[in-house]
Amino acid sequence: MKRDLLPYQIVMGVVSASIAGIIAVLGELRSDLGFSEVAIGIIVASGFFASFVAQVGFARYADRGFGRQMATIGIAISAIALFVMVVADTVVVWSLSRAALGFAGGLVLPGLRRAASVLDPDNVGENLGRLIVGEISGFVMGPIVASLLVEVGGLRAPFLAFAILSVLFLPFVARLPDDNGKRDATAGFPFDLLRNQRLQGGLILIFGYFFLIGAFESVLPVMLADEGARPTTVGLAFTVFAVPIVLVSARAGRTADRLGPPRVAIAGMAISAAATSTYGIIPSVWLLLALMTVVGIADGYGFIAGQVLISRSVAEHRQAGALGLMGAAEVLGAGISAIPAAWLYGETGKELTWFIVATSALILLAIGAIRLRGTQPVNASGTNLDWTPVDRHRTPTVD
């Protein structure tokens, strides 16, 4: 069963590496091309918003059985966007190419997440956690490789390397196995799922948590560059954040399966937000990196449990629709946060920026938790109650 996930993990890793590699060089992008903090925020946000459009508009096709075709088209678009970045030199072109890259990721993700969620209905959490291993491995390696390529070949080298990798990777993606879940040949836009109160609560949690991620991508690389960090240090920052997520991912999924995903998600996300509020007052880059390791552990539990929560909120044949909405909530939250956070950092400095971002996230997490109270899982594998440990002998409750 674990090997059945490997092809999807590999694709997730390559997509994640291409996107994360850009983040590592944002500080260099600002200094080499003279972009402002707000311009960096716009570039980051454009990718998030384009991914939102893709996941809302096209996730339904993964429920119809077209996940492999969506992934293939997504990787092809990603390659084109990365080739454009090799020559881009204005904010407009950078924003458009980053938007294309985000749109490509939005095409790929729903099918991969659906494949993991339907692989073994009794172990949704563990399998989604294992899929995260692929995503975070790419998230770790992308910045490291990008920062090393910048040192050796200059600012454009990472984009050329990732573009060539994407082209070479296309034949593998085109031969991805079909998932083994139930399909819905008539699946439409997933907006009808928003009537589900449990799904509403889960989406609010994800939306609030990704306020942190939007600021993380648009502010942290610039902040570290302002404090004298080299691109390799920025790559290290993403590594110490992401490696703990890889290490705890499968355990986090099993914990969510056993204890119930809402309370694991809320606890992990709240710890992450509280710790993030201190990023602006940490006196040393190295102390910040140490704190980010702790945040990575909390994120591993919180984000993976959030995915389990979303998956168990709907029937099997609507998995891609629900997980597409989750992806849309992710990128919408991050996109809304990225530009104001970048502007705040440029105008007021790091202390107020991180405090406001973290406080906003905590407020949204509280709203999501309130919305979740009293709800139950919907799909046939959702035998874990909302706030209590799993009971394998209980008949699932349908909203």
pLDDT, one tens digit per residue, over 333-355 is 888 898 899 899 989 999 999 99
Residues 6+ apart with CB under 8 A from 106: 50, 51, 52, 53, 54, 55, 58, 74, 327, 331
Whether residue 159 is contained in a domain is answered as yes
Please give the Cα distance from 390 to 388 (Å, whole number).
7
Whether residue 380 is contained in a domain is answered as no
Look-up: residue for tokens 């945040």? 295
Domain span including residue 14: 3-172+194-372
- Written as six digits, the tokens of 349 are 């400095």
Residues 6+ apart with CB under 8 A from 167: 79
Model confidence at 389: pLDDT above 60: no
Please give the Cα distance from 120 to 124 (Å, whole number).
6
pLDDT, one tens digit per residue, over 131-166 is 877 887 887 788 778 878 888 888 888 889 999 999
Cα 99 versus chain centre, distance = 15
Whether residue 178 is contained in a domain is answered as no
Span 293-321, average pLDDT: 87
With a pLDDT cut of 70, the percent of the chain lying above it is 91
Whether residue 184 is contained in a domain is answered as no
- Supply the CATH number for residue 125's domain: 1.20.1250.20
Please give the Cα distance from 111 to 172 (Å, whole number).
15
pLDDT at 201 (0 to 100): 94
Whether residue 182 is contained in a domain is answered as no
Instruction: Assign 162 to helix, strand or coil.
Output: helix
Neighbours of 89 (CB within 10 A): 10
Whether residue 268 is contained in a domain is answered as yes
Span 210-230, average pLDDT: 84
pLDDT, one tens digit per residue, over 44-94 is 889 888 988 898 888 888 888 888 899 999 999 999 999 999 898 888 999
- Written as six digits, the tokens of 221 are 């690389």
CB 314 within 8 A of CB 124: no
Whether residue 41 is contained in a domain is answered as yes
Span 191-196, average pLDDT: 85
How many independent structural domains does the chain possess? 1
Whether residue 387 is contained in a domain is answered as no
